[in-house]
């Protein structure tokens, strides 16, 4: 019995020493280094707000407390950032990113667009899911979503996810939607809506609520639908996009395209990193989600918070990639992808 205790004590001591050694190596690795946080969109965007909130705190939870520098890399609905993170960025744990939640969907529908495999990114954790809404200016001809079966609704689609979903609704359901691309972000699209160039746009509800409370209060806009698959508690009575489906087949197609709302605002890093670096980044992210300063910022800016661990997020991304080729082929046509 005494020998077993001695063996157990020795094993515990060896384990503790190995852990201390690993922590020391990690601290030396990050000491005096800079972690670059790449955002696939311009400033004044929901992705930008969440990314900066994480970037302000995550460095203090990494060994060696590296400085974290944010860089916006907009372009093609964050595809420019996705390709940079996969093929160019350092794979040593010094690069983080936040890109369009529809990255995997884009890869499935249009494989030539993304030069890589989204499932092979190291997914670090989700800050929140995406409670996006499609809203229209109060003078728009469409006052509720079902009006779009008979009246044209001109939508600014600044993001890849918004463009794909609205194209699907137009072609699957016959809604009279006209999509205008080219806007660099929601702020630019909102100005276009005020000028009368477009009728509507899609934006995360927490961002809309924080940035334009007067629009909601003074009824300058009508919230036409929730663009995700999960209802927001503050949007009772506003239909989900899935409510537009007329049968099970249409619902399955809409869920396939809109289901990436569950990826939401998630942090990832390049593929091919050492496992210990990924573990350190995920641990630091989890600690950031509990950080008092981070939580104060989320509350102050009236943002949503629905964290998911990196391990659970990685598993969800991998499951989501397991889609039948027939469904992908039909969705590709409906979302207007051209080979």
Q: What is the residue range of 312's domain?
A: 34-129+263-334
5: which 2 tokens?
Answer: 């205790």
25: which 2 tokens?
Answer: 């190596």
Per residue in 145-162, pLDDT tens?
A: 999 999 999 999 876 678
289: which 2 tokens?
Answer: 């989600």
Confidence of residue 13 (pLDDT cuts 50, 70, 90): low
C-alpha–C-alpha distance, residues 188 and 206, integer Å: 18
Mean pLDDT of 89-97: 97
- Residue 206 shares a structural domain with residue 219: yes
169: which 2 tokens?
Answer: 């609704």
Contact 254, 168 (CB under 8 A): yes
Contact 64, 31 (CB under 8 A): yes
C-alpha–C-alpha distance, residues 155 and 289, integer Å: 34
For residue 339, is pLDDT > 60? no
Q: What is the pLDDT of residue 5?
A: 45
Per residue in 117-127, pLDDT tens?
A: 999 999 999 99
C-alpha–C-alpha distance, residues 166 and 135, integer Å: 13
The residue among 260, 278, 295 that closes a domain is 260
The residue among 230, 260, 290 that closes a domain is 260
The number of folded domains in the chain is 2
Q: What is the CATH number of the domain that holds 244?
A: 3.40.190.10
113-117: long-range contacts, CB 8 A cutoff, minimum separation 24: 113/76, 113/79, 114/79, 114/82, 114/83, 114/86, 115/83, 115/86, 115/87, 116/82, 116/83, 116/86, 116/87, 116/271, 117/86, 117/271
- Residue 147 shares a structural domain with residue 250: yes
Q: What is the pLDDT of residue 46?
A: 84
Confidence of residue 3 (pLDDT cuts 50, 70, 90): very low
Average pLDDT along the chain: 90
Confidence of residue 4 (pLDDT cuts 50, 70, 90): very low
- Residue 168 shares a structural domain with residue 85: no
Per residue in 30-86, pLDDT tens?
A: 999 999 999 999 887 889 999 999 999 999 999 999 999 999 999 888 999 999 999
Mean pLDDT of 125-141: 96
- Residue 173 shares a structural domain with residue 256: yes
For residue 28, is pLDDT > 70? yes
Q: What is the pLDDT of residue 140?
A: 97
Contact 237, 162 (CB under 8 A): no
The closest alpha carbon to 68, from 294, 301, 300, belongs to 294
- Residue 194 shares a structural domain with residue 93: no
Q: What is the pLDDT of residue 12?
A: 55
Residue 29 lies in a domain: no
- Residue 164 shares a structural domain with residue 252: yes
Residue 24 lies in a domain: no
Mean pLDDT of 168-193: 92
The residue among 194, 227, 260 that closes a domain is 260
Outline where 70-199 has alpha helix (H). 79-87, 103-109, 160-173, 186-195
Q: What is the pLDDT of residue 338?
A: 57
- Residue 326 shares a structural domain with residue 256: no
C-alpha–C-alpha distance, residues 248 and 269, integer Å: 36
Question: Within its chain, how far is the Cα of 165 from the centroid?
Answer: 15
The closest alpha carbon to 123, from 292, 319, 296, 325, belongs to 319
71: which 2 tokens?
Answer: 């860089």
- Residue 137 shares a structural domain with residue 256: yes
- Residue 104 shares a structural domain with residue 200: no
C-alpha–C-alpha distance, residues 326 and 146, integer Å: 29
pTM of the model: 0.79
- Residue 67 shares a structural domain with residue 149: no
- Residue 199 shares a structural domain with residue 272: no
C-alpha–C-alpha distance, residues 69 and 90, integer Å: 14
Mean pLDDT of 273-278: 96
Higher pLDDT, 28 or 277: 277
- Residue 204 shares a structural domain with residue 287: no
For residue 90, is pLDDT > 60? yes
Q: What is the CATH number of the domain that holds 92?
A: 3.40.190.150
């Amino acid at each position: 019995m005494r020998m077993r205790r001695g063996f157990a004590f020795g094993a515990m001591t060896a384990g503790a020493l190995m852990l201390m050694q690993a922590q020391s190596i990690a601290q030396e690795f990050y000491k005096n280094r800079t972690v670059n946080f790449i955002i696939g969109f311009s400033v004044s965007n929901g992705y930008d707000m969440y990314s900066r909130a994480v970037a302000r705190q995550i460095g203090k939870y990494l060994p060696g407390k590296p400085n974290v520098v944010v860089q916006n890399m907009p372009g093609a609905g964050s595809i420019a950032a996705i390709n940079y993170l996969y093929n160019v960025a350092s794979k040593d744990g010094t690069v983080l990113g936040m890109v369009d939640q529809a990255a995997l969907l884009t890869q499935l529908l249009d494989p030539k667009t993304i030069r890589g495999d989204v499932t092979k990114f190291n997914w670090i954790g989700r800050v929140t899911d995406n409670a996006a809404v499609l809203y229209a200016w109060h003078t728009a001809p469409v006052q509720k979503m079902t009006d779009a079966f008979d009246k044209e609704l001109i939508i600014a689609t600044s993001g890849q996810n918004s463009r794909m979903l609205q194209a699907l609704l137009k072609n699957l359901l016959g809604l009279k939607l006209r999509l205008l691309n080219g806007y660099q972000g929601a702020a630019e699209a909102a100005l276009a809506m005020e000028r009368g160039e477009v009728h509507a746009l899609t934006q995360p509800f927490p961002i809309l609520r924080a940035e334009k409370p007067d629009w909601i209060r003074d009824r300058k806009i009508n919230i036409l639908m929730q663009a995700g698959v999960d209802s927001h508690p503050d949007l009772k009575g506003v239909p989900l996009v899935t409510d537009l489906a007329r049968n099970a087949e249409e619902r399955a197609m809409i869920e396939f395209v809109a289901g990436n709302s569950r990826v939401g605002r998630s942090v990832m890093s390049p593929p091919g990193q050492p496992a210990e670096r990924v573990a350190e980044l995920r641990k630091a992210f989890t600690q950031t989600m509990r950080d008092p300063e981070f939580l104060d910022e989320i509350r102050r800016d009236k943002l949503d918070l629905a964290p998911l661990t990196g391990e659970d997020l990685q598993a969800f991304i991998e499951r989501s990639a397991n889609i039948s080729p027939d469904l992908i082929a039909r969705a590709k046509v409906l979302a207007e992808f051209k080979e």
